[in-house]
Amino acid sequence: YTAKQRSAGAVVYHAAFDKASEQSLSLLTELRNAVERNEFRLFVQPKIMLGTGKAVGAEALVRWAHPERGNVFPDQFIPFAEQTGFIRVLTRWVMEQSAILAHELAARGLNLKISVNLSTRDLMDQDLPVKFADILARHQLGPSAFCLEITESAIMDDPVRAQQTLERLHEMGLDLSIDDFGTGYSSLAYLKRLPVNELKIDKSFVLNMENDIGDTKIVRSTIDLGHNMGLRVVAEGIESEAVWRLLMRMGCDQGQGYFMSRPIPADQLAAWLENWRPPIAMPGDAAVEPY
Ligand code: C2E
Ligand code: MG
Ligand code: MG
Ligand code: MG
């Protein structure tokens, strides 16, 4: 390279870098504004008892109603929000909206547990348990109103601090769930020490399990593992009746998936629950005898 070429390269490099950081800066600004402009939307996906078809909970899944880009999915901004620390603002918003929803449902006699997803940065936040206590008190909710979902990888980023936070949340009476189970790098030796109530099998093992013997084996072993550890086991990504039936036969406790419902706006949940009839015959249903 000549000096000129090198410096030209450097110029290009810096220009690209500045552009990237300019974009991140504007994304961060946009995210901050999105709170004030009320652009986040709380969506929820029902959690169903697989043996009875009863809806017992709902997972809060955030969407960003962007004025130009339309509905933006969490994968597009959660990792960035996590990197920049904005996630704490977002988590707080999700907790607050979930509390409003839980309160409204309880007023209609519907006691559903709302699951909220937490990230690494949330677990590093020493004030998180206090924030939760404050939200529960302001919305007149007991701790059983919530389940907190944490991925294995979020826990393994800083296992010691994660465990401290999880223990405090557990002492408050909040349910804890390990999300995307089977995709992280946590050891069972470590997991058994965590005060969790639920294992959530990652959808990558569930989506196509009726056609994949390997997935079927993984799912069956995970259900047994969870039960042997005294945990409730939930499968995500149920897209067909066949998979529901398979999971039911394996004794999986609860499930979520497009077969039951896609994530829907939180304000539509009460109506959804009114109309919900399990689309498959449950073992307890009166059999219609042909004669
Ligand atoms: P997750 O917590 O594992 O949530 C499950 C994801 O699977 C959701 O994607 C859900 O819409 C999708 N899903 C549910 N049933 C099915 C199905 O039958 N088939 C298929 N193909 N997909 C299904 P979503 O809403 O795009 O969220 C993606 C991830 O973003 C979540 O994974 C979670 O890690 C994160 N996320 C969402 N909302 C929040 C939030 O409020 N805070 C944090 N920290 N993370 C969030
Ligand atoms: Mg989740
Ligand atoms: Mg998951
Ligand atoms: Mg996931």
The residue nearest atom 42 of ligand 1, judged by CA position, is: 117
- Residues of the chain where predicted confidence (pLDDT) is lower than 70: 1-21, 283-291
Q: Are 216 and 246 in contact (CB under 8 A)?
A: yes
**pLDDT for the residue numbered 11:** 43
Q: State the Cα–Cα distance between residues 204 and 158, nearest whole angstrom.
A: 25
The residue nearest atom 38 of ligand 1, judged by CA position, is: 61
**pLDDT for the residue numbered 86:** 94
The residue nearest atom 2 of ligand 1, judged by CA position, is: 117
The residue nearest atom 12 of ligand 1, judged by CA position, is: 237
Rounded to the nearest angstrom, the distance between the alpha carbon of 84 and the centre of ligand 1 is 20
**pLDDT for the residue numbered 157:** 86
Asked if residue 79 has its Cβ within 6 Å of ligand 1, the reply is no
Structure tokens at 133: 């206590």
Asked if residue 61 has its Cβ within 6 Å of ligand 1, the reply is yes
**pLDDT for the residue numbered 55:** 97
Rounded to the nearest angstrom, the distance between the alpha carbon of 179 and the centre of ligand 4 is 7
**pLDDT for the residue numbered 75:** 93
Interface predicted TM-score of the whole assembly (ipTM), two decimals: 0.98
Rounded to the nearest angstrom, the distance between the alpha carbon of 77 and the centre of ligand 4 is 14
Asked if residue 147 has its Cβ within 6 Å of ligand 1, the reply is no
- Closest atom of ligand 1 relative to the 73 alpha carbon: 26
Nearest to 169 by CA among 140, 202, 146: 146
**pLDDT for the residue numbered 9:** 43
**pLDDT for the residue numbered 232:** 97
Rounded to the nearest angstrom, the distance between the alpha carbon of 236 and the centre of ligand 4 is 9
Rounded to the nearest angstrom, the distance between the alpha carbon of 171 and the centre of ligand 1 is 27
Residues less than 5 Å from ion ligand 3, measured at CB: 179-180, 236
Q: Are 219 and 250 in contact (CB under 8 A)?
A: yes
Asked if residue 216 has its Cβ within 6 Å of ligand 1, the reply is no
